[in-house]
Amino acid sequence: MNNRHDAIVVGSGIGGLSFALGLARRGLSVAIVTKKTGAESNTNWAQGGIACVTDTADDFASHVRDTLEAGDGLCDEEAVRHIVERGPERVRELIAWGVKFEHGPDGRPDLGREGGHSRRRILHARDMTGRAIESALLRAVAESPGVSMLEHHLAIDLVTRAKVDGRTPMGGADDRVIGVHVLDTLGGGVRTMRAKVVVLATGGVGQVYQFTTNPDIATGDGVAMAYRAGAEIRDMEMVQFHPTALRAADGGRALISEAVRGEGAVLRDLSGRAFMPDFHEQGDLAPRDVVARAIDAVMKRTGASHVLLDATQAAHGAFSERFPHINETCLKAGLDPSVTPLPVVPAAHYLCGGVATDLAGRSSLPGLYAVGEVACTGLHGANRLASNSLLEAVVIAHDGAEAAADEASRREEVPPGLPPWVDGSAGDPDERVVLTHNWDELRRTMWDYVGIVRSTKRLQRARTRIRTLADEVRDYYWNFKVEPRLLELRNLIQTAELIVECALQRQESRGLHFTLDYPGRLPLAAHSSVRRTSDRP
């Protein structure tokens, strides 16, 4: 099998697929590495839609203003304007690739409204927008001769010049990414793949928490790999908890899109009282951080295990037609949204920080790009405005493909003979229980101590326990054969350490980071930042 490509894209969501198509269009050979099937991605789970100015009643200034307000002072205004203003062209490209957004009887786009938006501007495909986009992009990739898809392949670590020659300082100006170690999760072997540029499009980190709306694949792989390679990681404390996850009887958490409140659903306490007007002038359409903290406060004050989302009159009574997927999910849980208010709780949903990049997806480490949820461009700041994520992914993928293709054209060929992967013992260890136990303990620790409301003492407790888990897994990692569950746990622990470190750096409450010890905001907003400075494994 070919282990040499011009570019390797790790991940197969909207960012990765769009980036790969852009690179192939510019003549590069591209390999997409995805640890499940191509269709399994965070994008596939996106319900709401893509925020974009497409209506004459809307304008860029309004979308920029809404984004900045939601971001609570931490957004990069240049990034916000860049992405918002380039959105319409990229949406037209999605349509050209076959994405079919909903239209009204008059033939105009049927635009939804979500929390934090002052206008209706959400393009959607019912409540399965992500799936519609993912399907269209996968078809385009299948028809592109320059792109190959490696399913069931899990990236282990980036290969850098510093790692190869041992003399170049890790993460320094002379260091650069030249390949990836990849595990074939079905065959069991590890391949060392080389490329002129590598693109991380691995999605989010939701599985680091006990309760999340994210799929099982969201284990922070890209952030962890980038950190271990020496790239700058930024604003990891800004983890968005979606306010409304269905609290199923089996303990599961299914996402109930913000678009449901945009179509008239109301949050109520268990007595039936609508409580959001007590917390924000926008009521049920307040930004997500406000709504999540409000629900948390009501639950703690009343001792309730959940609040209620009353959607009985949402979408003018046509709930099942407007939200068929959500309706089916609720019915399977024994709940009819058109008749009964739904029990909902917050759950970990989206990472607003990540690998620090510019507006072409370039990281601080030459040869390494990042796009989508794994990246931190400055668009989201301290809190992501609903449905801005898909917009960011397609804009950065387009601009990044141009920059990466230019870089690849200037780079000399990566020489063959990169060091092969060295595995541990091939035996099946008795200590396998370590994986399950540590996986569960990590996620409970993060939920209890690094959740919606934090304190310095809670963060310090989390850091102490996570370090112990890291030591245990590190010993396991270097002594036994790698397997997917071990690699994902290693990445989750690394991600948890970065979240806690960034949270301890921020001695204020801003956006998604609320701490009891520093309830006020500092006058000037600043990014938290971490970067690996040693070769400690």
Q: What is the mean pLDDT of residues 256-262?
A: 92
3 state DSSP class of 274: strand
Separation between Cα atoms, residue 295 and residue 318, nearest integer Å: 26
> Which alpha helices (H) appear in 230-376, and where do they start and end?
259-262, 288-302, 319-322, 324-332
Domains of the chain: 4-237+352-410 (3.50.50.60), 246-347 (3.90.700.10), 431-520 (1.20.58.100)
Residue 385 has pLDDT above 50, yes or no: yes
Q: How far is CA 367 from CA 177, 178, 357, in A?
A: 5, 7, 12
Q: Is the dihedral of CA 59, 60, 65, 70 positive or negative?
A: positive
Whole-number Å distance between alpha carbons of 51 and 315:
19
H or E element that contains 99: none
pLDDT of residue 537: 42
Tokens of 472: 């245990």
Task: Inform me whether the pLDDT recorded for 482 exceeds 90.
Answer: no
Q: Is the pLDDT of residue 329 over 50?
A: yes
Average pLDDT for residues 132-150, to the nearest whole number?
94
d(CA 124, CA 98): 14
Q: How confident is the model at residue 42 (pLDDT cuts 50, 70, 90)?
A: low
Question: Which band of pLDDT confidence, cut at 50, 70 and 90, is reported for residue 474?
Answer: confident
120 given a catalytic annotation? no
**Whole-structure pTM value:** 0.93
Q: Residues 84-101: pLDDT tens digits?
A: 999 999 999 999 999 999
Residue of 288, 454, 458, 532 with catalytic role: 288
User: Which whole number is the average pLDDT over 398-404?
Assistant: 98
DSSP H/E element including 140: helix 129-142
Q: How wide is the angle at C-alpha 40 spanned by C-alphas 360 and 329, nearest 5°?
A: 120
Give dist(CA 525, CA 381) in Å, integer: 10
Res. 296 pLDDT band, cuts 50 70 90? very high
Please give the Cα distance from 103 to 438 (Å, whole number). 48
Average pLDDT over residues 507-513: 97
Over range 207-215, report the average pLDDT. 93
> For 19, what's the count of Cα atoms within 13 Å in the CB-facing half-sphere?
36
Measure CA of the first residue to CA of the last residue in the chain; give whole Å: 29
Is 80 exceeded by the pLDDT of residue 133? yes
Q: Judge whether residue 536 has pLDDT over 60.
A: no
CA 177 – CA 198 distance, rounded (Å) = 7
Beta bridge partners of 112: 122
The beta-strand segments (E) located in 142-200 are: 147-150, 153-160, 177-184, 190-200
